[in-house]
A = this chain, B = another copy of it.
Amino acid sequence: MSSLYNTLKIAVLPGDGIGREVMPACLELIDAAVSQAGAPPLVFETHQAGAQHYAETGEALPAAALEACRTSDAILFGAMGWPDIRFPDGTEIIPQLDLRMEFGLFAGVRPIRWFPGLPKVLSDPRAEGIDFVLVREQTEGLFYARGRGEVLNDQEAYDTMQITRAGTERVTEFAFQLAAQRKRRGKAGTVTCVDKANVFSSMAFFRKVFDEIAAKHPELQKDYAYVDALALNMVKKPWTLDVLVTENMFGDILSDLAAGLIGGMGMAPSADIGDTHGLFQPAHGTAPDIAGKGVANPGAMFLSGAMMLDWLAVKHGDQRLADAAGLIEAAVEHTLSTKIAVPMEYGGSANCAEMTRSVIGALGAVR
C-alpha cells in the first residue's frame, strides 16, 4: 500500500491533570484504529508543557514543544492549567491561548451531538436529534484584550474587543464550508451568525461581513441570532441548530453551554483550525478534583483524535485516515450505546483504562 506523503508526525502535548491520563489512552486507540484502517502508523512526538512543567522548570511552553507543534502535521493536546500554579503576575498558565495566536488557529470547531448512551439532559425527546457545530472565532474578539487590558489607579479597568474584516471573513467562510459538507450529509446547510449587532458597532460590522461571505454561498441558508436569544434557544430547541459562527468570547460561553446539553464535557471534542496548523483537544480542562485517580472519561479525547484523523485525511487526500476516524467514532458510540462500559461521570463504573479497553475492543465490532 503506497502513500503519497511521508509519515505523519503528530506533536503530542498531554499537559496537566487528566490530560496526562486521557492522552496515552487516545494514542493507543489511534494506533489501533489507523492500523485496522490499513493506514501507515502516525509518529507521535510527546512534549511536556503546561502548569506542572512550569512549576518544575520555569517554562510553560518550552521552545522544543513549540517547535514540534510548528513542524508537525497536527497537534494533539490534552489539557493544561492548574489552580495553584500561576505566573508571578497571578495570571493562569493557559498555553492553549498562546498556541491559537502563534499558529493563527482562527476556527474553534466545537461539534455537539447526542447519541445513545449519553445522558438525556433535556426532557424533550427531540433532544435526541441534537447535532450542531459551533464555530468560535479564536484570534480576536474580546480575547484581543488579553495582555492589553488596563487598570487605572485601582479605579477603573478597560478591555477592548477587536473585530477585523479579515478575521471575520475567514471564520465565516470556514463556517459556510462546514455547512456545505454537512449539507452533503443531509443536514440543513444553515449558518447562523450569533452576535449582538443591536447594541455594538463591532458586532454590526461582524454581521455585515458575515452577510458578504454568505452572498458567495447562495446554495446555503443564512440566519441571524442575538447571542442572548441564542443562549435561550440552545436550551429550548437545540435540535433546530446546524452551524453557528460567533465572536471569541460568545463562543467560549456558548460552547460550554452546548456541552451541558449532552451531559457535560465528557463527550465534547474540539478542533482549533488555522490555515496551516490544526490542534485537537477535548473541551474539558485538567479536572484537579479527579486527576491522578485514573477515573477520567477519555471519550472527548478520543473524539478529538477522530477529528484530527478526519482533518489529516482531507489535508493529505487519504481515505484510510477518514476510515480510521470513522472507526473511532463508531467504536465510542457502540461502547456507550450498548453500555459495554459506562463512564463514571454518567453513573457507571468504568474508569479510564476500562473505557479505553472497551472502545479499542469495539473497533472490531464496528468495522
Contact = CB atoms under 8 A, between A and B. Distances in A.
Nearest to A268: B232
Contact of A121 (B123, B142, B203, B253): B123
A264 B154 CA distance: 40
Interface in A242-283: 249-250, 252-257, 259-261, 263-265
Contacts of A157: 162-164, 201-202, 205-206
B199 A228 contact: no
A289 to B, nearest CB: 13
A201 B143 CA distance: 11
Contacts of A250: 253
B200 A232 contact: no
Contacts of A151: 201-202, 205
B142 A200 contact: yes
A67 interface: no
A228 B253 CA distance: 4
B155 A201 contact: no
A126 B255 CA distance: 24
A158 B148 CA distance: 13
Contacts of A204: 90-91
A136 to B, nearest CB: 11
Which one of A145, A198, A257, A259 has the highest number of Cβ atoms from chain B below 10 Å of its Cβ? A257
A227 to B, nearest CB: 6
Pick the most buried of A94, A151, A205: most chain B CB atoms within 10 A of its CB. A205
A219 interface: no
A264 B294 CA distance: 40
Contact of A160 (B143, B158, B257): B158
A353 interface: no
A50 to B, nearest CB: 14
Interface of A: 90-92, 94, 97, 120-124, 142-143, 145-146, 149-151, 154-166, 196, 198-206, 227-229, 231-236, 249-250, 252-257, 259-261, 263-265
